[in-house]
Amino acid sequence: MEKVRDIVREGKRVAKEDPRRVVHSFKVGLVLSLVSSFYYYQPLYDSFGVNAMWAVMTVVVVFEFSVGATLGKGLNRVGATLFAGALGIGAHHLASLSGPTGEPILLAVFVFIQAALSTFVRFFPRVKARYDYSLLIFILTFALISVSGFREEQVLVLTHKRISTVIMGGLSCVLISIFVCPVWAGQDLHSLLASNVEKLSFFLLDFGDKYCETVKDGDTKEVDKRKNDFDNYKSVLNSKSNEESLANFAKWEPGHGQFRFRHPWKQYLSIGGLIRQCAYRIDTLNSYLNADIQVSINIRKKLEEPLRRMSLESGKALKEMSVSLTKMIKPSSSDLHVHNAQSACKSLTSLLHSGILKDVEPQELISILTATSLLIDIINLTEKILESLHELASAARFKDEIEPPIFAKKPNSRSIVCGWATKGQDDHVVTIVKDDCYNDNKSEKDNRSNQVLIHEKHEDCLHEKHEDDDAHVHSSCDSCGHTSLRVIVECR
């Protein structure tokens, strides 16, 4: 009884995790009942007979969770059945020429050669990735047609019936999977990438606080809680195989929603690789949170400001990237956050130059400098991910919309770059950036930090001006091919 309850609980969890699974189960049941009507409905049964079972078999084997997988398997199955059917008939004809004694021997030889060769080709990595199922069906159909052809005289009729039932089964799977609550592998890959970026951003947004906060040595509960909070990013470490199979499925899918037919899925894999590299660094960084040798609070306090800003800004950059991926708009404010993170790196380096860590114990020095170095590494990787995302955005024609960066929503949070963006005339964009990077607890200086960014478009070329109350002006011109707004802000 307890076991049944466990199973029901597990079922609820699985359904809640992705409700599309329930819908998919219903879809499979529906198509299978539909295809079974081949048996019930007399006219259909009269024309296909027992061959109707091939339709049932095709549905069971071909109907996968996503459209791409179903379409890939369906096309593989139909193509392989056609090709193997033709070859099987040829083999049967050739064997029949050699007389009643030679026929079975020759057929056995054909089956052997075909099966051995196809099985070997299945080991080719490129074939395995896309046409593995094709070859399986090829071996199967060839063996069945050429051998059963040995018995039945009407090989052509048999082949014709078998192929048409397979096509009917495959077609009903494909149609139902496309038109009834479709699950697109491409969309899933896209969402997976966005959620992976978001997971990393969560770690980084919290890391500064966690690293610099006070933790009592004996407080094991606190340590346990920390560990759990941060374990979220760990699923990113092993996402490669999942991404690759989704990309393979996505290649089979027709255009849907914002994804055109030849959407640059390859670029997703390269961004995924960079994200994983960043996750490896984060995994290493995480081990310093739970290390045996804890850096004393005094020393952490010395580097707190830049360390916090480095992790916070890179976290924000990643968060914005995740949002821009989700909404399929060009990542605009991420550049700003990456730049902020880099300027925090510079201020950290100058702090170190001032000899702030002169009297620190070597072991603590190693620990804190490694955390620093990993953060620098993560910021560099964030920049690379951003570049890769810019490439994706232009290849996949992401929208150019300028929206309020998400961090504008909490104007009172600490150390946050707030921005409001309005789209003016066609060739004129004004962005006001209120930068309170150095204004924590210095509210009297709030006015000074209001900055105005003016973007002007002249003859396909984007000029960028940057003014603040000190009348400091920045101007830069992006190359004409590159239309993303690169906002350059210096925190002085």
Rg for the chain, CA atoms, rounded: 31
Q: How far is the CB of 198 from a second copy (least distance, A)?
A: 20
Q: How far is the CB of 355 from a second copy (least distance, A)?
A: 9
Q: Smaller CB distance to a second copy: residue 368 or 462?
A: 368
Q: How far is the CB of 305 from a second copy (least distance, A)?
A: 16
Q: Say how far apart CA 127 and CA 383 lie, in whole Å.
A: 35
What number of CA atoms fall less than 13 Å from residue 286's CA on the CB side?
22
Q: How far is the CB of 391 from a second copy (least distance, A)?
A: 22
Q: Smaller CB distance to a second copy: residue 99 or 125?
A: 125
Q: How far is the CB of 39 from a second copy (least distance, A)?
A: 5
Q: How far is the CB of 280 from a second copy (least distance, A)?
A: 4
Q: How far is the CB of 106 from a second copy (least distance, A)?
A: 11
Q: Smaller CB distance to a second copy: residue 29 or 424?
A: 29
- Cβ–Cβ under 8 Å, residues 307 and 400: no
Q: Smaller CB distance to a second copy: residue 55 or 325?
A: 55
- Cβ–Cβ under 8 Å, residues 198 and 319: yes
Q: How far is the CB of 265 from a second copy (least distance, A)?
A: 18
Q: Smaller CB distance to a second copy: residue 284 or 294?
A: 284
Angle between helices 185-212 and 220-230 (to 10 degrees): 150
Q: Smaller CB distance to a second copy: residue 158 or 417?
A: 158
What 137-140 contacts at long range (C-beta under 8 Å, 24+ apart), as own/partner pairs, is 137/76, 137/77, 137/80, 137/81, 137/84, 138/80, 138/83, 138/84, 139/84, 139/114, 139/115, 140/84
Structure tokens at 341: 């993170």
Q: Say how far apart CA 369 and CA 373 lie, in whole Å.
A: 6
Q: Say how far apart CA 308 and CA 212 lie, in whole Å.
A: 8
Q: Say how far apart CA 416 and CA 366 lie, in whole Å.
A: 30
Q: Smaller CB distance to a second copy: residue 380 or 439?
A: 380
Q: Smaller CB distance to a second copy: residue 240 or 442?
A: 240
